[in-house]
Amino acid sequence: MIGSQGEGLKIALRTLDHTRITIGAQAVGIAQGALDFALDYVKERKQFGKAIADFQGIQFMLADMAMKLEAARQMVYVAAAKSERNDADLTFFGAAAKCFAADAAMEITTDAVQLLGGYGYTRDFPVERMMRDAKITQIYEGTNQIQRVVMARQLLKG
């Protein structure tokens, strides 16, 4: 038996506070890979005689992808530090880091697929797999809807 009798659920839920951060880190890694691949692709792909990276709309997408990625990375770092210290507000931050990073990874990988056009949807390029991998980070260790419930309960507790 781990812990005292009747404490199992409490211990299991507290464990999730720590492990959710690893899912956030996984999501950050997936998103970074998708952004890196998309950056290389848009620098090489030519349209109308110039690299598509030169088009302002593409640049806006890339900037948004990088901004969301960095915000997710910082949330995961903060949650990881709180996990190391076993801070009292870890439950909120673990759920927030997992939720935000997973949602960001889904958006970033979807944008990477779009930047590759039709190629992005084929198995010849890794971004379609990255998009599927990002999706699972929104689901396991508690869906992102559940993460929002966890966060709201923490906020309401005070």
DSSP 55: S
pLDDT at 10: 78
pLDDT in tens, 43-83: 999 999 999 999 999 999 999 999 999 999 999 999 999 99
Could you report the per-residue pLDDT of 117-156, keeping only the tens digit for each? 988 988 999 999 999 999 999 999 999 999 999 999 999 9
**Confidence (pTM):** 0.92
Could you confirm whether 70 is annotated as catalytic? Answer: no
Which candidate in 7, 84, 107, 141 is catalytic? 141
- For residue 158, the model assigns a pLDDT of 87
